[in-house]
Amino acid sequence: MPLAIEIANIKNAKHSTETECRLVADLRIKGKLMANQDLISLETDHRVEETAERLGMSRREFLQFCAAIATSLGLPQGADAAVAEAIATKKRPSVIWLHFQECTGCTESMLRAEHPTLEKLILDVISLDYHETLFAAAGHQVEAARKTAMEENKGKYILVVEGAIPTKDGGIYCKIGGKTAIELLKECAADAAAIIAIGSCSSWGGMPSTGINPTGSSGVASVLKRPVVTIPGCPPNPYNFMSTVVHFLTFGSLPALDQLGRPKFAYSRLVHENCERRAHFDAGRFAMDFGDEGHRKGYCLYKLGCKGPETYANCPTVMFGDAGGGTWPVGCGHPCIGCTEQGVGFEKPIHAMAKMKNIEPSVFLPRIVEEKGVGSSLGSAAVLAAVAGAAAGAGAMVAKNLGLSHKAEELEQAKNKGQKANETTEV
């Protein structure tokens, strides 16, 4: 079962943060966490059964989903039961979802999640009171619905922003119902209990803000001048969004965030740290070209420009886009483009090598296939033969000359001897 595999993956990742642990411990002490701290014991709970039935999934699947949410949040054992109970019993929070400069990819990935029940769950866990893509109604009707929801849930609703906000020329580059994106955002943000910026565009400006940034695209936090929860990614994993919402639902507060407003459970580690290809990086085995021997063997993609070493995200553990185990970009053989990281995604060329945040690999690592050497070429054999021939020829000539002079000398000696002998006989 893919979900079970993912739970196992997530458990291995251990994204636990201290704050979360303390939160659960506090809840336990206060007795807020129900007596059922064991998820399995909830299987017989009628509320769980009813919820599962309502969602059109089996009871077991529902509980597994809750466990996955709890683990991806890095919560300790027992929290899964709390999550299940919260989803089964608590009033669904009202959500107002705004779309600005974006491609609707974040919504798409949420609705086209691999698990057929996830989108149902999302829509069940939250009360989606305003969403331009999903609403059947249009025009004044839908704007009225937004106003009503905001008034009814004043100070309690969650505002989700998808897409960047154009700020140039008074924000005229994005208007909905006659209002600029800036006006809409400020209006909706005023009475929101929490603001979640989903996707890289609303987190810091994302793709529309690259290059010359013609419309002055900015993130939610910079427009509102207050910190918001950001869930960057292009698109982000739906689990990261779901987990944040469920955390809010279960504990009434947002999960621990880093200095950029990103939930720590999802963005505290580099892609590089839990990457399935990390062993290849450490061993110095790199793909050098798309389709080369190393690429086919699944070697590290660092030299093809993988931005995993400078990108904070939990893609290696929860997989990118919830498209199923092993199907995230690196798993498919494409380098991470760093979509969650401002200054990396859409900013650096895909082929450019990442700036290592920890140790840089040596440039003197072996190639994928070592050349085993070439034999003699016609030219090299000829040169060697020429040298050998010249040496042999010269040697033979020297030897011949030496031999000749030796012979001549010996003849002369013999002649001298003969002469001497003659002389002696004459005398």
Q: If 0-12 CB within 10 Å is exposed, 13-18 middle and 19+ buried, where does residue 379 land?
A: exposed
Contact 313, 13 (CB under 8 A): no
* Pairing mode, strands 158-162 and 94-99: parallel
Binding segment toward other proteins, per CB under 8 A, in 178-186, 207-215, 277-285, 392-400: 392-400
Residue 421 Cβ vs other proteins, minimum distance, rounded to whole Å: 21
Letters for 357-386 (x = contact with other proteins by CB under 8 A, - = none) are ---------x---xxxxxxxx-xxx-xx--
The beta-strand segments (E) located in 150-241 are 158-162, 165-166, 175-176, 179-180, 194-198, 217-218, 229-231
Per the CB < 8 A criterion, the answer to whether 312 and 274 are in contact is no
Q: Which is nearer to other proteins, 144 or 365 (CB)?
A: 365
Closest distance to other proteins from the beta carbon of 406 (Å)? 5
- Minimum CB separation of residue 233 from other proteins in Å reads 42
Token match 């704050």: residue? 19
Contact segment (CB under 8 A) with other proteins among 79-87, 108-116, 135-143, 396-404 equals 396-404
Q: Which of 226, 297, 400, 420 binds other proteins (CB under 8 A)?
A: 400
Type and span of the H or E element at 96: strand 94-99
Cβ distance to other proteins smaller for residue 155 or 375: 375
Tell me which stretch binds other proteins (CB under 8 A): 57-65, 258-266, 319-327, 402-410.
Answer: 402-410
3-class DSSP assignment, residue 415? helix
Q: Is 405 in the site for other proteins (CB under 8 A)?
A: yes
Identify the residue among 40, 172, 190, 398 touching other proteins (CB under 8 A): 398
Gap between the Cα atoms of 416 and 408, Å rounded:
12
Q: Do the beta carbons of residue 241 and residue 110 sit within 8 Å?
A: yes
Quick one: which of 149, 151, 169, 154 has its CA closest to 98?
149
Q: How far is the CB of 362 from other proteins (least distance, A)?
A: 12
Residue 416 interacts with other proteins (CB under 8 A): yes or no: no
Closest CA to 303 of 281, 331, 270: 281
Q: Using the rule CB under 8 A, which residue among 4, 332, 387, 411 binds other proteins?
A: 387
From 344, 335, 327, select the one nearest 288 (Cα to Cα): 335
We find the least distance from the C-beta atom of residue 404 to other proteins, in angstroms, to be 8
At closest approach, how far in Å is the CB of 293 from other proteins?
A: 15
Instruction: List, as one string, the DSSP characters of 204-230.
Output: H-TGGGSTT-TT-EE-HHHHHTS--EE
| Interface region with other proteins, contact rule CB under 8 A, candidates 118-126, 161-169, 236-244, 397-405 | 397-405
Site membership for other proteins, residue 356 (CB under 8 A):
no
Give min distance, CB of 390 to other proteins, in A: 10
Residues that bind other proteins (CB under 8 A): 366, 370-377, 379-381, 383-384, 387, 395, 398-403, 405-406
